[in-house]
Amino acid sequence: MNLRIRTVFSILISFMLLLIVIVVGLLLGEDSFAINMERKNQAPSYDHLFGTDWLGRDMLVRTIKGLTLSIGVGLLAAFSSTLIALFLSLLASWNNLCDRIVTWLIDLFLSVPHIVILILISFSLGGGLRGVIMGLALTHWPHLTRVLRAEMLQVRSMEYVGVSQRLGKSRLWIARHHYAPHLLPQLFIGFLLLFPHAILHEAAITFLGFGLPAEQPAIGIILSESMRYLSIGMWWLAFFPGLCLLMVVGLFDMLGKNLRLLVDPFHGQKS
């Protein structure tokens, strides 16, 4: 089996596993993790693979529902950050002044600890789902913008871009017909690689109490609540949700890396 086939196979497996998690999470109703005090604090068993919590809720169901919510938040945040990165990279190609402004913005955001500025933005916007998504979107674009800007500078020096300029084509036309098509592969892969960071940071600030509200079945909420019960031996409350979160993040990371390998001209054709 050559490298391309192995890469495509890995992409399909990752995509199918993530799709299963999302579909199952969307199909689960609120009654599936209703309170049942008769089965509270049960350790993992055949009836409840992830055990139950202090309110008798099935932890497997809560974990899947939380992962679905976290995936949705991560996708929206990563998509918004990708659009910001695309806009700023196109703006950087406009002229030297715009390029200096974009570079200054990138350096400014990268100079502040990531989690600090994320908490500040989320808190200033009132927290909740909107605050978390906006905070993630406004803090995850700098690295991708730097990559896209470097690609933009390379394309701008190409001969066909100079020909279009001499033919009188507008900057907007050149950006749409020359820059944007060249950036689309990097943009898509960058979006997939942004997602693991977004979902982990969403869980982190929710765990710290600056993210999603307590009534949301998010992984960060589950992990935060479980900390009060670890000292009495209820290890499964944090172990299984945390492990599943790492697995989902790893699947997205593997999906992005395999897609980058697939489109890489130096590796994608290698057998």
3-state secondary structure of 36: coil
3-state secondary structure of 52: strand
Question: For residue 175, what are its two tokens?
Answer: 């950006």
Instruction: Name the fold adopted by 3-28+55-263.
Output: MetI-like fold (1.10.3720)
pLDDT tens, N- to C-terminus, the chain (271 residues): 566 677 777 778 878 888 888 888 888 776 666 777 778 888 888 888 888 888 888 888 888 888 888 888 888 888 899 899 888 888 887 778 888 898 898 888 888 887 888 888 888 887 778 888 888 888 888 888 888 888 887 877 777 777 877 777 777 777 777 777 777 778 888 887 788 888 888 888 888 777 777 777 788 888 888 888 888 888 888 888 888 888 888 887 777 777 777 765 444 444 3
Question: For residue 156, what are its two tokens?
Answer: 């701008």
3-state secondary structure of 26: helix
| CB neighbour list of residue 61: distance below 8 Å, 6 or more residues apart | 28, 32, 33
Report the candidate in 53, 111, 78 with the shortest Cα–Cα distance to residue 200. 78
Query: How many beta carbons lie within 10 A of that of residue 43, not counting itself?
Result: 12
Residues for the chain: how many in total?
271
Per-domain boundaries in the chain: 3-28+55-263
Q: For residue 52, what are the β-bridge partners?
A: 58
